[in-house]
Each structure stands twice: as structure tokens, then as C-alpha cells.
Amino acid sequence: MHRLQVPLPHLLPFAIGSFDTIGPLSRAGFPHRHSFYEIVHVTGGRGAHVLDLVHRPLAPPQLCVITPGQVHHWADGDELAGRVVLFNEDFLLGDPQDLAALRALASRPAIDLGEHAGTVGALLADMEHEYRTLAPGYQGVLRASLHILIVRALRACAPGEPPAVASRPAELAAAFTRLIARPGGVRHSVASTAHELGVSPGHLQSLVKQATGHTPGGLIRRQQTLEAKRLLACTDLTIRQVAREAGFADPAYFCRFFRRETGMTPGEFRSRVDGNHHDPRIMSIAVAPDGP
């Protein structure tokens, strides 16, 4: 787990620079995760970006968005060029829509920029200039520019579609998914997450189902499956240890759960995952039909 460290004199939960200035971890070839958000603007190089086991060959110019807790690395990365933006959640302007957008953008290993490539490149160049020169008011400019960058990325994903206006159900659903996606979040129950969010379990159930089409329990199962896949693919933990980290006290029940969700036992998944990026059982994380 990597945490955000920024140099003086900024003291901001934010950094921007090239792959070289950010450091070697920005092009790490081993699976890892962050406690912060990362947006990478790739303008050159070869290889692939692997995000939560999904492998996408690089085709610059493109964006890669990684949210806290996701596991990613650069496979066979060579001569990577571009800019890397790192920031904590509290650096955002406080718009729930931005948080929901980041999670949506991070559902894909890469975003093809197409006609937005020039605009995004110019915006990032201006952001780095603000970060380096420290002109009066640069913090506000960087926060506003980050919001614009997120909107531009959404436009590249869905041309012609304006970003949706956040609603109370959407805000609560976004907060719920952030809670269960953070490290250790899959160990929480629907009741405990409702308590942390300050609502009743019934109210949480209603608003999350309204916003996402899925129950909180279904989304927790999805996150548990994803976390188990991450741990099986990227660590040497035993099945018992993976079960515990994924929120299961009983390893036998975890094995039954995992097979029901993926069609494979944990051992079968681990033996097949290395280098196999085309088996849909490895790549996909579907939400199972909602049950009691």
C-alpha cells in the first residue's frame, strides 16, 4: 500500500509531474495499490496497463484512472511518457459527482482521448505550471483544474452526454461504495456501513438500490469477490488468509462463495490467472442477482 508523499513547499495532498519527476513507482511493474487517487496521462511508450486484473495494451494518448484500493501495474512498460497526477480525496472541491465520476472512470484500465487529447494535454501542462511556479491562488486553480480534468475525461468516455447532476441517492451510493472499496472495507456489514453513514439500514437499502439498481448486500458481495481476486492473483497468501482479508471467518464458506460468484475455486482461479487476461471469469466482476 503506497501513501501520498509530496515535497515542500507545497504541503498539499496533491502532486503532478512526469514519470521521471514523480519517481520510479509511477511506472512500477509489480502489482500494488494506493491510499490516494492517481490519474495518468500517457502520451508515449509501449506495454500495457493492468488494473484489477484487466489487461489493456497502451495506445497513447490516453488516460488511466486509479482509485484508492485498486490494484494495478504496468506490464512490459517501456519508454513511458506523459504526466502523473496524484491527490487525496480531500483535495477535491467536495463535489460528490467528482467522486462518482472517478470511480466510473477507474472501471476501465485506459480511456482513449480521441478529439479531447489536445485539450487534456494543455490542461495538464497548465496544472503542472501552476504546481511548479506557486503563483498566488495556485491551490484554487489546481482544485478547479482537477474538476475540469475529470469532466473532460467523462466527455471522452461518453461524447455528447453531459455529466449527470448528483442526487441524494447518488451521493449516498457513492459514499457507500467508497467505504466498502477502501482497504478492509469488505469486512463491514450493511448495518455497520449504514451506521457509519448516519442512516438506517432500510434507508441505505432503498437509496443505494435506487441509485445503482443493486442492493448494498449485492455490492458488498461484488467487492468481496474483487478483493479475493486481487489477493489470489497478486499475493502469496494462503486461501485461509485470503478468506479472512475478504471478510470471511469460515474458509470453507469462502470457497463455496467464490465458486458461486466466479465458476472456479480459489485454487483454480490462482492457477489460471497468470498471464490469462481473456478468460471472462478472471476479468469480470459481475453483481450477482440480489437475494435476501
**pTM across the whole model:** 0.72
Instruction: Report yes or no: 92 and 38 within 8 Å, Cβ to Cβ.
Output: no
Give the pLDDT of residue 269: 92
Domain ranges of the chain: 14-157, 168-283
- The contacts of residue 107 (CB under 8 Å, 6+ apart) are none
CATH of 168-283, one of 3.90.1150.10, 3.30.750.200, 2.40.40.20, 1.10.10.60: 1.10.10.60
Tell me what the mean pLDDT of segment 277-292 comes to.
45
CA separation for the pair 67, 93 (Å, rounded)? 17
Confidence class for position 277, pLDDT limits 50, 70, 90? very low
pLDDT of residue 85: 96
Helix axis angle for 138-157 and 117-133, nearest 10°, is 160
Between CA 162 and CA 196, with CA 171 as vertex, the angle to 5 degrees is: 165
Q: Tell me 264's DSSP state.
A: S
Q: Kindly state the average pLDDT of the residues 71-88.
A: 92
Question: Where does the pLDDT of residue 99 fall: very low under 50, low under 70, confident under 90, or very high at 90 and above?
Answer: confident
Q: Per-residue confidence at 166, pLDDT binned at 50, 70, 90?
A: very low
Q: Cell 515542500 identifies what position? A: 8
- What is the topology classification, in CATH, of domain 14-157? Jelly Rolls (2.60.120)
